Amino acid sequence: MLGAGGAGLSGAARLLAEAGHEVSGHDREASPFTESLGALGVSVALGASQADQLPSGVELVARSAAISDEDPQVQAARARGLEVIKYSELLGRLCPADRTLAVAGTHGKTTTTWMLHEALEAAGGPAPGTLVGGLHQARRLNAVSPDPTGWFAVEACEYDRSFLQLQPFGAIVTNFEEDHLDCYGSLEELERGFCRFVDRVSAQGLVVLGADVPDAIADAVRGRVWRMGREVQLDLLGQDKGYFRFQVRGPGWATPEVQLSVPGRFNVEDAALAIAMAVGCAGVSPAAAVRGVAEFPGAARRFERWGESGGIPVVHDYAHHPTEVRVTIEAARRAFPGRDLQVLFQPHQASRTARHMEGFVEALRGTGRVVVTDVYGARKHIDRIEGADAATLASKLRRAGVDAVAGGSLMDSCGRFVEGMKPDGCALVMGAGDIDTLKLDLLDALALRFTPGG
């Protein structure tokens, strides 16, 4: 496994190891994912990749999208005549066609997949499995092995067309928006990709679509289609500080009242989609589906509460698209009313930052203050588009009336963020790169600044 610390490959490694395969891997640095693999007996070498790190006896090499053809171990594997596949191809081999329920969409895939798994598990019977692009906050896992006849919920990402390696029995498309145009080229081609994905779903299965998914994608489905706002109805019953109560209704069924354990209007829609798939495709009772979804504590890096330090609440979210940034800010305003909301934001990939620059400016408007870190680049070998950096985004935010500054490196940005924090502030840390590594430093710095005698 090259890139074994990635969210996808680390989960696949777990499933393969638990199935009895001998698995090893490599990554540049340690992470919670590599540490969890070590506990399973999976050896993960760290540091710069070197050809001699590829063990003897290897039969298959899988690599993440961040690993280039020039990687020394990729070249060494090919020189040996070994099969080298991408994570997406490995995922296609791991997922049983007659039991896989795939979750695709621009936003909400990780949370919806975990909610679907929880709904399936609450039904009893053969234990379901899952492979998700983010850790479960309570289990601290990103993959669970299924029983031989259990359902398998999987996060299906559109990046690099990886979801076209799957042939699921059922599928969810949470929503559809412009993203990953670095590999699709146009919104029309992205839509065609999603059409090809839903066309791969079994004609005997079910596809559940979010309310804003284009009709063209619905028309490409070979079997049953349930759409939010049509076959599936969502009734909001109230909310308290961003925690919503609601009911879901579908063809011939209705749930009891649902009270989620995670805040945010967007999580309500994710939950409704997961419930509909569990009930309509897997035969889970509405009451059991609600029970599983309601107890879900959230995925790591998805509105994850890092705690309160010096009286300042700190929340982290993986948001790296303008829509995700906007809805996360809305959730934070509901969860912490009256607080001065300040944002520490790490843009993700130069190409995405350039394409969505104006969208980020609009999404971040109205916050008390924004510190923008240097742009994170996980795919530097393919993300070569210039014209976007932290200084440009901060400058555009200032012109829009936002108190914003480019903070530089993660640690420098953390320092500037804490310096400008107010006693009535709320710290919202957003980004899909390595900004989560600031957790302890940020909490410690806030404690030193705001705790009396600190």
Express each pLDDT in 110-120 by its tens digit.
999 999 999 99
382 pLDDT tier (thresholds 50, 70, 90): very low
- SS3 assignment, position 355: helix
In order of 177, 326, 327, 330, 349, the CA distances from 356 in angstroms are: 12, 13, 16, 19, 11
Q: Give 269-306 pLDDT, tens digit per residue.
A: 999 999 999 999 999 999 999 999 999 998 888 899 99
What are the phi and psi torsion angles at 259 (to 5°)? -125, 110
Residue intervals of the chain classified under CATH 3.40.1190.10 are: 95-294
Q: Give 149-198 pLDDT, tens digit per residue.
A: 999 999 998 877 889 999 999 999 999 987 756 677 788 899 999 999 99
Residue intervals of the chain classified under CATH 3.90.190.20 are: 304-450
The predicted structure's pLDDT at residue 6: 86
**Nearest alpha-carbon partner for 369 in 333, 338, 334, 345:** 345
The predicted structure's pLDDT at residue 298: 85
The predicted structure's pLDDT at residue 248: 98
Q: Give 231-268 pLDDT, tens digit per residue.
A: 999 999 998 888 899 999 999 999 999 999 998 888 99
Residue intervals of the chain classified under CATH 3.40.50.720 are: 7-87
The predicted structure's pLDDT at residue 42: 93
Superfamily of the domain at 304-450: Mur ligase, C-terminal domain (3.90.190.20)
Helix axes 322-335, 357-364, angle to 10 degrees: 10
Residue 381 above 50 pLDDT? no
Q: Is the dihedral of CA 132, 440, 370, 452 positive or negative?
A: positive
Question: Alpha helices of 52-164 — where are they, by DSSP H?
Answer: 72-79, 87-94, 109-122
From 28-32, 356-360, 372-376, 391-395, the region with the lowest mean pLDDT? 28-32
Q: What percent of the chain has pLDDT over 90?
A: 75
The predicted structure's pLDDT at residue 264: 86
Assign domain 7-87 to a CATH class: alpha beta
The predicted structure's pLDDT at residue 138: 87
378 pLDDT tier (thresholds 50, 70, 90): low
Q: Is the dihedral of CA 157, 159, 164, 166 positive or negative?
A: negative
The predicted structure's pLDDT at residue 76: 96
Higher pLDDT, 381 or 93: 93
> Which residue pairs, CB below 8 angstroms and at least 24 apart, start in 38-43?
40/13, 40/14, 41/17, 42/4, 42/13, 42/14, 42/17
What are the phi and psi torsion angles at 195 (to 5°)? -60, -45
Backbone Cα Rg of the chain: 22
Higher pLDDT, 321 or 101: 101
Task: Give the mean model confidence (pLDDT) for residues 7-11.
Answer: 90
Average pLDDT, the chain: 92
Q: Give 194-229 pLDDT, tens digit per residue.
A: 999 999 999 999 999 999 999 999 999 999 999 999
CATH architecture label of 95-294: 3-Layer(aba) Sandwich (3.40)
Q: Could you tell me which residues are beta bridge partners of residue 304? A: 316
Task: Give the mean model confidence (pLDDT) for residues 41-66.
Answer: 92
